[in-house]
């Protein structure tokens, strides 16, 4: 099986987007998130959750706000796994933007997540500069989804897996 890590942005860029997004999401976005409507976000995260596409030319990166002080970044890459064969969690973690959770001299914990897509893994970690992050990476068929949060709360696993379940349930 061929693993094609086609994550659209680097961990450093995602960290900058998440950590630096003092949000008026509507002002930063280029339209609603095409794969996570505000209805889906509200169902998963609570009223007030709002998503916008980050203007990057692909429409695959969305910024979500209105949930807490920390916004979320969602990505979707269609056909990231052309043969659709489920990828083991340790290999799936290799396509995650790990710079969000672990920089030089940082630490991260990898947790496979059962029952989510065909394969899923959660990385939660801290960077040497004291920042922390969480990245949930999900393979569903040929598609790759990532759910990224800087400064994750204690319930980050529940929050991110609930969001992923809602997004995947609404996906074609």
Q: What is the CATH number of the domain that holds 58?
A: 3.40.1000
Is residue 6 situated within a structural domain? no
Establish if 33 belongs to a structural domain: yes
pTM: 0.79
Mean pLDDT (the chain) is 76
Q: What is the DSSP string of the chain?
A: -------SS-HHHHHHHHHT----HHHH-SSB-SSS-HHHHHHHH-TT-EEEE-SSSSS-EEEEESSSSS-EEEEEETTSSTT-PPPPHHHHGGGS-GGGT--TT-EEEEEE-TTSSSEEEEEEEE-TTS-EEEEEEEEETTEEEEEEEES--TTHHHHHHHHHHHHHHH--
Query: How confident is the model over 54-66, as pLDDT tens digits?
Result: 876 665 889 888 7
Q: How far apart are CA 90 and CA 140, in angstroms?
A: 16
Read off the pLDDT of residues 129-169 as tens digits, 9 standing for 90 and up: 777 888 899 999 999 999 998 878 788 889 899 999 999 99
Residue 1 placed within a domain: no
- Domain of 113, in residue numbers: 11-170
**Cβ–Cβ < 8 Å for 98, 13:** no
Residue 44 lies in a domain: yes
Percent of the chain residues topping a pLDDT of 70:
72
When pLDDT is averaged across residues 112-136 and rounded to a whole number, the result is 86
Residue 68 placed within a domain: yes
The pLDDT of residue 105: 57
What is the number of domains present in the chain? Answer: 1
In a domain, 71, yes or no: yes
Is 5 inside a domain boundary? no
Domain-embedded: residue 84: yes
pLDDT of 18 reads 43
């Amino acid at each position: 099986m061929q693993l094609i890590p086609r994550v659209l942005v680097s961990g450093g860029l995602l960290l900058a987007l998440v950590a630096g997004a003092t949000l008026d999401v509507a002002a930063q976005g280029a339209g609603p998130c095409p794969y996570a409507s505000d209805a889906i976000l509200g169902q998963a995260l609570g009223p007030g959750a709002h998503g916008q596409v980050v203007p990057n030319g692909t429409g695959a990166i969305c910024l979500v706000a209105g949930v807490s002080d920390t916004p979320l970044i969602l990505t979707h890459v269609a056909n990231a796994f052309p043969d659709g064969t489920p990828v083991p969690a340790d290999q799936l973690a290799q396509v995650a933007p790990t710079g969000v959770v672990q920089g030089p001299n940082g630490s991260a914990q990898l947790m496979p997540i059962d029952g989510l897509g065909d394969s899923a893994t959660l990385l939660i970690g801290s960077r040497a500069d004291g920042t922390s992050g969480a990245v949930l990476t999900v393979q569903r068929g040929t598609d790759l989804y990532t759910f990224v949060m800087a400064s994750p709360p204690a319930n980050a696993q529940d929050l991110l897996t609930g969001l992923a379940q809602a997004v995947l349930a609404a996906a074609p």
